[in-house]
Structures are given as C-alpha cells and as structure tokens.
Amino acid sequence: MKRLLALLLVVAAVGCQGTLCTLDQSPPGYMQALETAQAVLARHYGPVTVDKARGTVEASTIVRANLFCKYRTKAAAQIVQTAANKYDAVIRVTNELEVSEPSLLGGGQPGYDWRAVGFDQMAEAALLAEYQGQTPMRPSPVMFRPAPAAPLRHRDLPRPEGTGGGGAEKPMPRPSTPRAPEAKPEEAPRPSAAPAAKPSQAQLFEQHLMMGDLHLKRRDLDNAVLEYQRATSAAPTNAAAHLSLAGVFTALRHYSAGAAELRQAASAANGDRLPAADLSRLRGPADEVKERILLLKGWCKQKPEDTDARLLLAYHCFLAGRVEDARATLDEVMKANPKDLAGRYLVRQMEAQGT
C-alpha cells in the first residue's frame, strides 16, 4: 500500500511539472517583443525590471535633486497583441517628483511618494521609433537632466620673480629700438550657426495625424483624440483630422462630439471631394467599422430622436460601402434638418465617389 501511494505521488509530481512547463511557454513573438523593449529601455535608463507574466518592462533614471525637490524620469513599456502572432509595445515616459507627506503614525519619518507631473511625448515617440528599428528623434529621451557644470575660471598668472615679497624689484631691460607691432593675419570670418529650421504647419499636421493613427491602431483612444486635435490646430482647413475625430468619438460613444466634428469637416472641406487615400485611411479595419455600425443602430433604435447618432451612422455606412443604408439614414437626417451641413457634405461625397 505504501509503495502504491509513493508511486501515485511521483506520477502526480511529474504531471504537475509537465503542466507548469507547458504553462510557462510563451509565444516567440511575445518574447521577442519583450526582449526588444527591454533592450531599448536599458540603453537610456537605469535598472530595468521585466514582468513576463504581465508583459511589462519598467525602468527609471537615477534620482536627482535640487534645492526644492527630488525628481526622476520613469519609462514603462506594455506589450500588446495587435494580430495573430503579432505583438507591439505601448511606451509611456513619465516625469515624477518626490512629494513628502506627514506620517499618520506619528513619531517617525515623514512618508514620501512619487507623483507624476507630466508625460514626455517626444521621448515616447523616440523610444517607439527605436523599438520599431527606426532612427530615434533624439539620443537620450530623458527630460530631467542634471544642470551643466559651471565654466572654469582662469586663474591669475604667477608674477615674475622679484615683483612680490619684500625684495627689491629688478628693473626690466628696455630694448634699444622699439619694435614695430607685428601685423596679425586677418582671420577668416567664422560661419554663423544657422538656426534650426522649424517644421512647417503642414509637417506638424502630418506628424500629429500619423501619431493619431498609431494610437488609434493600438486602441489608445484618449491619446488618439489628443493627436487629432493637435492636427486640427495645425491645419484648421483640412477635413481629414476632423473626420478622424468623428470616428474616435464614435468609438468612445460621444455621438454629439462626433457629429460636431463632422460638421467642422464639412465646413473645412468647402465642397471638396475626399481623396481616395484619406477615405481608405478613415475606413480602417472592417471589423471595427462593423462594430461601430452595430452600436449606432442599437442606439438609434433606443433614441430615434438623436439626429447626431443617425448622422454618424450614415457616415460609417458610407465608409463601409453600405450605400443603401447610408442613403436611407441620410434621408431621415435631412428630413429632420434639411439645412444640416454635414448631411449635405455626405450626400456630395457619395455623389463624387459614384455611389
């Protein structure tokens, strides 16, 4: 009986070890993304900690201080799955200050905690570019840097012998004939450093639009809204960013804000035809457009008086190529408000696209 029990225990132990080994195996793409993020953060920051189970990599600079507080920069990367066997990273760079608080226990040292005071988006973009194998925008993405050292002062030259102390000064011999001053060769004028060229408004628009598309691809909707809004500030008369905002607000279920962006796009476009490249970019993945249409249809059934939601439903049906649904929904919108600027804009776009 004892032998049988011991044999069962051995079999159970072997089975558990096999199960743990199986569970511990991670996809190669996941491990490669994790190792790449670890290598990128290790190039710019101090100790790096990796949580394989959660797919996170964290690192921070050494703690520095000035007369007022201590500060540091912290970077964190989160591995996310974008498709089957494909992984990407979301990187955040946070500038933090140490905040002291009185201890509630009394008699001890005051407690302290690190508080985030801002995000370094340029550093995030640089780390992300390096993660993707591109050239980073700047070599070291750290906002809090130590103050530069004070310039060295020139010391007084030592006096010649006999000019100091209590001894008598020795007269310097005078030349018999004065020498003519030597002509100094004319120095060539140094070329002045040209100031760094600032990016144009069109370049800023393209950069913010690209960053917004990247955040939207990763389902980071808050940052996508922020980048698209910056794009609209850089180019107010370009309808592409307003139309992108309409799609993000639809995903966030802020239908009134999305309809307002559609009307802004209609005002900015001034009847121009939407380019095919912008139309393809706005369409995005088919499953996401289908999900938005389903949510909008359900909402319109519950709230038939919500013309903003119906306007967004017509817009997404137009993007998905559902011409009949888009026309039927637009007819309802125009009946409720014949002067709706966005409704007229969508009608002209469908006519221009030949749908």
Check: CB of residue 217 under 8 Å from CB of residue 248: no
Q: Which amino acid is it at 306?
A: D
pLDDT the model gives residue 164: 47
Among residues 291, 297, 284, the alpha carbon closest in space to that of 325 is found at: 297
CA distance 312 to 349: 14
pLDDT the model gives residue 150: 47
Among 73-77, 145-149, 161-165, 337-341, the range with the most confident prediction by mean pLDDT is 73-77
Are 206 and 347 found together in one domain? Answer: yes
Handedness of CA 329, 333, 336, 339 (dihedral sign): negative
Are 347 and 207 found together in one domain? Answer: yes
Residue 294 included in any domain? yes
Are 217 and 341 found together in one domain? Answer: yes
Domain region containing 123: 28-131
Burial of 38 from C-beta contacts in 10 A (0-12 / 13-18 / 19+):
middle
pLDDT surpassing 50 at residue 279:
yes
Residue 322 included in any domain? yes
Mean pLDDT across the chain, nearest whole number? 76
Residue 171 included in any domain? no
pLDDT the model gives residue 342: 85
Residue 266 included in any domain? yes
Are 206 and 127 found together in one domain? Answer: no
Identify the weakest region by mean pLDDT among 196-210, 281-295, 336-350: 196-210
pLDDT surpassing 80 at residue 271:
no
Confidence of residue 111 (pLDDT cuts 50, 70, 90): low
Question: Domain boundary residue among 96, 131, 166?
Answer: 131
Confidence of residue 313 (pLDDT cuts 50, 70, 90): very high
Q: Tell me the Cα Rg of the chain.
A: 33
- Mean pLDDT, range 306-322, rounded to an integer: 90
pLDDT the model gives residue 19: 46
pLDDT surpassing 60 at residue 53:
yes
Can you give the pTM of this predicted structure?
A: 0.47
pLDDT the model gives residue 236: 85
pLDDT the model gives residue 339: 83
Are 120 and 209 found together in one domain? Answer: no
CA distance 263 to 255: 12
Residue 72 included in any domain? yes
Residue 263 included in any domain? yes
Among 98-102, 106-110, 341-345, the range with the most confident prediction by mean pLDDT is 341-345
Which CATH number is 277's domain given? 1.25.40.10
Reduced to 3 states (helix: H, G, I; strand: E, B; else coil), residue 72 is strand
Question: Domain boundary residue among 100, 116, 131?
Answer: 131
pLDDT the model gives residue 56: 92
Are 101 and 223 found together in one domain? Answer: no
The neighbouring-strand residues paired with 60 are 74
How many domains would you assign to the chain?
A: 2
Check: CB of residue 221 under 8 Å from CB of residue 292: no
Check: CB of residue 71 under 8 Å from CB of residue 95: yes
Question: Domain boundary residue among 131, 150, 176?
Answer: 131
pLDDT surpassing 80 at residue 101:
no
Q: Which structure tokens are listed for 239? A: 């309808």
Residue 14 included in any domain? no
Residue 172 included in any domain? no
Are 230 and 101 found together in one domain? Answer: no
Are 214 and 338 found together in one domain? Answer: yes
| 327 vs 70 pLDDT, higher one | 327
CA distance 314 to 328: 8
Are 268 and 349 found together in one domain? Answer: yes
- Mean pLDDT, range 216-233, rounded to an integer: 88
- Mean pLDDT, range 101-127, rounded to an integer: 68
pLDDT the model gives residue 176: 56
Are 336 and 217 found together in one domain? Answer: yes
CA distance 217 to 93: 20
